[in-house]
C-alpha cells in the first residue's frame, strides 16, 4: 500500500526583525500588552519591495527539495497555500513553478488561510495515495505586513501577524512511515468574524476610487478576537481528538503536537486540555508571530532541526483560522 510521507522540509523568513518595542512607536500598545495577550516577542516584516509571496515560497521550496534529496524536476505537482498572493490572478503556484524553472507541472492554489497548509497537505496525501503523483511540493507563504493597519485602531490585529514561508515535499512511500489521516472542516456562517473585506467583487475598482471613507475601514484585516479565541480552542481540541480516534490512539500517544501558531495562549490551553508536557508541544510564535499558512511548516523545520522528532514518532498537526476553517493531520514519522 502506498503512503504519503513528508520527505523534505524547508522555510524562509525575511531578515527584517520587528520587535514589540518597534510596534510601540507605531501605535498605542506595549511589549507587556502584546506578550500577555499573544506570547509574541518579535516578528519578521518584509522591507524589500522585490520580495514577493511566491519568491519567499521559492526559497522555502528550494530548501525543502534539497532536504528531500531529490532533483527539482522530480516534483510533479505544486500546491500553494496563501491568503496574500502576488496577484489576484494568476495564482502564486504558477509563479513558483516559473521561479523554480521546472517542467510544466500542475499548480493549485489553496485559499484557506491559517488552515491552508493542512488542507494542502491533505490534497497531496490523496494524490499520492491514488498513484497519480510521486513528489508533491506543498507550500505556505505569506506577506501580511503591507496590508496591516498600523494605526492605533488596528493594534488588535497588526501586532499578531508576521511574514514567512514554509514548504514540504510529500513523497510516495511503501514503508511504515507516512500520513495516517487528515481531517478538514469549515463553518462559513462566521466568515466575517476574521476577514479582509475589500477589495471585493461587490466593491471593485470603480467603487474604491469613489470611496470617501477616509479611515480606510474594510481595507485591512478585521478580527473579533474574543469570539475567534473561543471557537479556536473548541475546534482545535475537537479536530485533534478526531484524528486520534480515527487511528485508535490517545493524547498520550502524541510524540509532538505542532499547532498553527495563532496565539501562544491558544496553544497553552490546548496543551492543558490534552494533558501534554511542554516537551510534546512545539511553539515558535514568540519569534515569528502568526504567519498563517506558513506557520506549521516553519515550526516543523525548526522542530526537526532541534531533534524533536525521531523515526516512529506520532506527529500531530492542527490549525484553526478564518472561514472559519479548521483541520488536523496525524503522521507517523
Q: Are 307 and 256 contacting, i.e. CB atoms less than 8 angstroms apart?
A: no
CB atoms < 10 A from the CB of 170, how many? 29
CB atoms < 10 A from the CB of 126, how many? 12
Query: How many whole angstroms separate alpha carbon 185 and alpha carbon 294?
Result: 19
Alpha carbon dihedral 200, 201, 207, 212, in 10-degree steps, equals -20
Helices 53-68/92-100 angle, 10° precision: 50
> Among 20, 114, 135, 283, which one carries the catalytic annotation?
114
Would you call 316 a catalytic residue per the annotation? no
> Among 173, 284, 290, 316, which one carries the catalytic annotation?
290
Q: What is the 3-state secondary structure (H, E, C) of 4-30?
A: EEEEEEEEECCCCEEEHHHHHCCCCCC
Would you call 185 a catalytic residue per the annotation? no
> Among 112, 260, 263, 284, which one carries the catalytic annotation?
260
Would you call 144 a catalytic residue per the annotation? no
Q: Are 285 and 267 contacting, i.e. CB atoms less than 8 angstroms apart?
A: yes
Active site members? 114, 260, 290
Amino acid at each position: 500500500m502506498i503512503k504519503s510521507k513528508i520527505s523534505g522540509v524547508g522555510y524562509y523568513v525575511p531578515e527584517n526583525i520587528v520587535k514589540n518595542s518597534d510596534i510601540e512607536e507605531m501605535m498605542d500598545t506595549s511589549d507587556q500588552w502584546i506578550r500577555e495577550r499573544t506570547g509574541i516577542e518579535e516578528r519578521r516584516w518584509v522591507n524589500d519591495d522585490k520580495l514577493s509571496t511566491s519568491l519567499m515560497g521559492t526559497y522555502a521550496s528550494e530548501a525543502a527539495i534539497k532536504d528531500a534529496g531529490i532533483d527539482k524536476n522530480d516534483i510533479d505537482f505544486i500546491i500553494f497555500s496563501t491568503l496574500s498572493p502576488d496577484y489576484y490572478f494568476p495564482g502564486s503556484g504558477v509563479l513558483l513553478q516559473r521561479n523554480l524553472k521546472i517542467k510544466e507541472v500542475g499548480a493549485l492554489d489553496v485559499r484557506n488561510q491559517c488552515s491552508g497548509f493542512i488542507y494542502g497537505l491533505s490534497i497531496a496525501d490523496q494524490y499520492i495515495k491514488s498513484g497519480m503523483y510521486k513528489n508533491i511540493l506543498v507550500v505556505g507563504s505569506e506577506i501580511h505586513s503591507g496590508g496591516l493597519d498600523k494605526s492605533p485602531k488596528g493594534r488588535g490585529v497588526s501586532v499578531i501577524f508576521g511574514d514567512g514561508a514554509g514548504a514540504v515535499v510529500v513523497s510516495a512511500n511503501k514503508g511504515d512511515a507516512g500520513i495516517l489521516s487528515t481531517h478538514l472542516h469549515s463553518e462559513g456562517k462566521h466568515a466575517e468574524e476574521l476577514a479582509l473585506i475589500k477589495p471585493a467583487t461587490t466593491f471593485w475598482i470603480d467603487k474604491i476610487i469613489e470611496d470617501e471613507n477616509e479611515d480606510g475601514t474594510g481595507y485591512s484585516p478585521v478580527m473579533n478576537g474574543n469570539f475567534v479565541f473561543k471557537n479556536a480552542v473548541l475546534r482545535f481540541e475537537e479536530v485533534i481528538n478526531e484524528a486520534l480516534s480515527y487511528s485508535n490512539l490517545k493524547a498520550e500517544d502524541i510524540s509532538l503536537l505542532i499547532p498553527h501558531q495563532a496565539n501562544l495562549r491558544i496553544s497553552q490551553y490546548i496543551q492543558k486540555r490534552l494533558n501534554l508536557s511542554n516537551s510534546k508541544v512545539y511553539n515558535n510564535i514568540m519569534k515569528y508571530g502568526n504567519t498563517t499558512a506558513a506557520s506549521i511548516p516553519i515550526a516543523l523545520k525548526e522542530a526537526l532541526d532541534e531533534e524533536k522528532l525521531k523515526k516512529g514518532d506520532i506527529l500531530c498537526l492542527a490549525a484553526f483560522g478564518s472561514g472559519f476553517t479548521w483541520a488536523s493531520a496525524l503522521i507517523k514519522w
